[in-house]
């Protein structure tokens, strides 16, 4: 975190990241525990939606989100392609079990393991030289070689996830709203189409193109991950480590700002996609496409017949608006932390305002 030259800074209780900034094992523990919380929420919400689902009312009119996502990837259908909710309960319970495993791992990293992976050497012992693998993942926020090494592993994991999705669609099948059933989808690895879809992705109406984009993304992420693991940024292997590459800016605050920018941008893109695209977000599961309106800020409203809508809005409406505003505030967090990473002290603003007030008091006195 930004210290502004203070070797012993103190932070408020709300600055949670400051507690784990220099404790890499605790940092991992907080991430794993957060993953457990997400898994628990997904599993619990899936079971809750399944328990209250009414097959006589369109799914998108019941304010659901977990079950529609499962339906979109072909989970919940019988062999004849009819929606039955089959395997949905299993998915929910599986997420709950995973959440307990993640929670245990988070507790181990927070309570049992060494605070710093640099000292890790097994479950409960420290300092043994034969257990140095974990030390490779020690977080050194101002070390470009360390950061690019960790980034490479993240990219490979994302690439593997994309491959899993592509193979799932090819072997198991996903829901195709054009025919109203689950079918196997082969990916269309057409580089020209993938390039062109950068500019019209909101109107994609081919599942083959969707899978082709994921296949290309998997290749790019795995290749990029291998590149980041194998190369060095700060040692001269890629040329001089300049300010353009992050020199004098790389820090915990900077990494946090980039993370917020990435998730914020993805949330905003998802909002626009969810609002209008009925191929990736089928109308049968999310409700009718939305219309965008402008007030103080953009927002989306339902366009279909709202008679019988259980929650007052379609799943598409609240999913779109929640994504957009979460993304908007993530971007604000990115700007805040990015400016701090550049060295700006926001206390200067409050101090300047305080000085103006004091000057007014002096003049009026």
- The per-residue pLDDT for range 241-265, each reduced to its tens digit, is 666 666 677 888 888 899 999 999 9
Residue 144 phi, psi dihedral angles, 5° rounding: -65, -35
Confidence of residue 90 (pLDDT cuts 50, 70, 90): very high
Cβ–Cβ under 8 Å, residues 327 and 267: yes
Mean pLDDT confidence for 175-181: 92
DSSP collapsed to 3 states, 30-86: HHHHHHHHHHHHHHHHHHHHHHHCCCCCCHHHCCCCHHHHHHHCCCCECCCCCECCC
Higher pLDDT: 356 or 205? It is 205
Residue 176: enclosing H or E segment and its boundaries?
Answer: strand 174-176
**Residue-wise pLDDT tens digits, 43-55:** 999 999 999 999 8
Q: If you average pLDDT over residues 61-82, what whole number do you get? A: 90
Token pair belonging to 255 = 């990494």
Q: Which residue has the tokens 């257990």?
A: 131
Distance CA 29, CA 24 (A): 9
DSSP string, 284-329: HHH-S-EEEEESSSEEEEE-S--TT-TTSS-HHHHHHHHHHHHHHH
- As a whole number of angstroms, the distance between CA 100 and CA 217 comes to 31
Per-residue pLDDT band for 40 (boundaries 50, 70, 90) equals: very high
Q: What's the rounded Cα separation, in Å, for the pair 67 and 53?
A: 9
Rounded distance, CA 130 to CA 122, Å?
10
Confidence of residue 123 (pLDDT cuts 50, 70, 90): very low
* pTM of structure: 0.85
27 within 8 A of 109, measured Cβ to Cβ: no
pLDDT tens for each residue of 290-322 = 999 998 889 999 998 888 788 889 999 999 999
Higher pLDDT, 111 or 7: 111
Tokens of 222: 């795995």
126 C-beta neighbours (distance < 10 Å), count: 12
């Amino acid at each position: 975190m930004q210290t502004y030259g203070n070797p012993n800074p103190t932070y408020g209780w709300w600055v949670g990241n400051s507690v784990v900034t220099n404790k890499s094992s605790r940092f991992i523990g907080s991430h794993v525990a957060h993953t457990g919380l997400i898994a628990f929420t997904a599993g619990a919400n899936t079971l809750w939606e399944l328990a209250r689902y009414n097959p006589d009312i369109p799914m998108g009119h019941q304010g659901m989100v977990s079950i529609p996502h499962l339906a979109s990837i072909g989970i919940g259908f019988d062999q004849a392609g009819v929606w039955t909710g089959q395997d949905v309960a299993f998915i929910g319970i599986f997420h709950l079990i995973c959440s307990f495993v993640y929670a245990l791992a988070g507790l181990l990293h927070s309570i049992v393991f060494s605070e710093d992976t640099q000292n890790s050497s097994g479950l409960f012992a420290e300092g043994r030289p034969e257990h140095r693998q974990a030390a490779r993942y020690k977080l050194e926020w101002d070390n470009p070689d360390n950061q690019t090494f960790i980034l490479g592993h993240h990219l490979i994991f994302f690439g593997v996830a994309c491959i899993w999705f592509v193979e799932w669609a090819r072997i198991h099948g996903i829901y195709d709203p054009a025919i109203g059933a689950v079918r196997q989808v082969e990916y269309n690895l057409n580089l020209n189409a993938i390039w062109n879809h950068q500019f019209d992705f909101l109107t994609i109406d081919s599942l083959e193109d969707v899978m082709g984009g994921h296949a290309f993304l998997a290749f790019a992420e795995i290749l990029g991950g291998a590149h980041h693991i194998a190369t060095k940024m700060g040692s001269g292997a890629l040329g001089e480590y300049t300010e353009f590459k992050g020199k004098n800016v790389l820090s915990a605050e900077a990494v946090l700002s980039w993370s917020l920018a990435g998730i914020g941008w993805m949330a905003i893109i998802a909002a626009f996609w969810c609002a209008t695209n009925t191929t990736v977000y089928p109308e049968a599961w999310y409700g009718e496409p939305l219309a965008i309106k402008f007030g103080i800020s953009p927002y989306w409203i339902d366009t279909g017949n709202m008679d019988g809508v259980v929650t007052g809005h379609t799943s598409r409406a609240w999913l779109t608006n929640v994504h957009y505003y979460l993304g908007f505030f993530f971007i604000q967090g990115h700007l805040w932390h990015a400016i701090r990473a550049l060295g700006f002290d926001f206390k200067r603003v409050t101090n300047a305002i305080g000085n103006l007030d004091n000057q007014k008091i002096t003049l009026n006195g």
